[in-house]
């Protein structure tokens, strides 16, 4: 079965880097995603990585994927107070999987950025 | 990505009543899904809304409690039936096309 796990809370100082970690169990995932949810708001897609890649950089965001260890991380450089939110990792699956099209989410990591 | 209009955005309902949530997508999508996000929790998939046939429910969710319709490739509804306070959650629809996923803004439901 599929299972996605994250640490629940991370606190950093403004200007520092934040690293949010995620582990998953199902190696048949196709894409891995990072979503941001601000209080009272919907889900915002931040970035995603194809499962055969090991790194993707997008401005302040760096995603690292270790397929062997089934470990995904999101690094936010120069973290700002506006980055305070809940961050969810999620995995999706290819055609032929019983989970085709579904997104399986982790529990979410609350990022607190202190001024 | 597709754009989803979800409504209502929030509602306060009496226990024992039902609420129907609608999602309209601005273009045809391959798949649509319904998720529940209980307070302080992650998103849990309720079901996959299949066009022209019965929805496919995940373990722990049943059609009598969460009937779903998907009459065409751009529209779906989720009904939360015979509500109890335990149904108080955010309900989100999602659409999938080859260019990725889109989420509705969510329906914040409070059952009193």
pLDDT digits (tens, 9 = 90+) for A47-81: 999 988 999 999 999 999 999 999 999 999 999 99
Residue A1 has pLDDT above 60, yes or no: no
> B41 and A107 in contact by Cβ < 8 A?
yes
The two tokens of residue B1 are 């990505």
pLDDT digits (tens, 9 = 90+) for B58-103: 999 999 999 999 999 999 999 999 999 999 999 999 998 877 888 9
> B33 and A102 in contact by Cβ < 8 A?
yes
> A107 and B42 in contact by Cβ < 8 A?
yes
- % of chain A at pLDDT higher than 90: 68
Give the chain B residue whose CA is nearest to the CA of A44.
B103
Q: Which residues in chain B touch residue A42, judged by CB atoms under 8 angstroms apart? A: 92, 103-106
For residues B4-26, give the mean pLDDT. Answer: 97
The two tokens of residue B23 are 């999602």
């Amino acid at each position: 079965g599929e299972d996605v796990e994250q640490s629940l809370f991370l606190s950093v100082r403004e200007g520092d880097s934040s690293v949010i970690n995620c582990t998953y169990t199902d190696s048949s995932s196709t894409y891995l995603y990072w979503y941001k949810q601000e209080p009272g708001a919907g889900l915002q897609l931040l970035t995603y990585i194809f499962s055969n890649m090991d790194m993707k950089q997008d401005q302040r965001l760096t995603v690292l994927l270790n397929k062997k260890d089934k470990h995904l991380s999101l690094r936010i450089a120069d973290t700002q107070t506006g980055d305070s939110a809940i961050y969810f990792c999620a995995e999706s699956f290819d055609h032929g999987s019983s989970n085709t099209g579904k997104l399986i989410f982790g529990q979410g990591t609350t990022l607190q950025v202190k001024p | 990505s597709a754009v989803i209009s979800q409504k209502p955005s929030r509602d306060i309902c009496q226990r024992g009543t039902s609420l129907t949530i609608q999602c309209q997508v601005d273009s045809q999508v391959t798949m649509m899904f319904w998720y529940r996000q209980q307070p302080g929790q992650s998103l849990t998939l309720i079901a996959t809304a299949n066009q022209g046939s019965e929805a496919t429910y995940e373990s722990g969710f049943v059609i009598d409690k969460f009937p779903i319709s998907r009459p065409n490739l751009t529209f779906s509804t989720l009904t939360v039936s015979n509500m109890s306070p335990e149904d108080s959650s955010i309900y989100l629809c999602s659409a999938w096309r080859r260019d990725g996923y889109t989420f509705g803004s969510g329906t914040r439901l409070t059952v009193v």
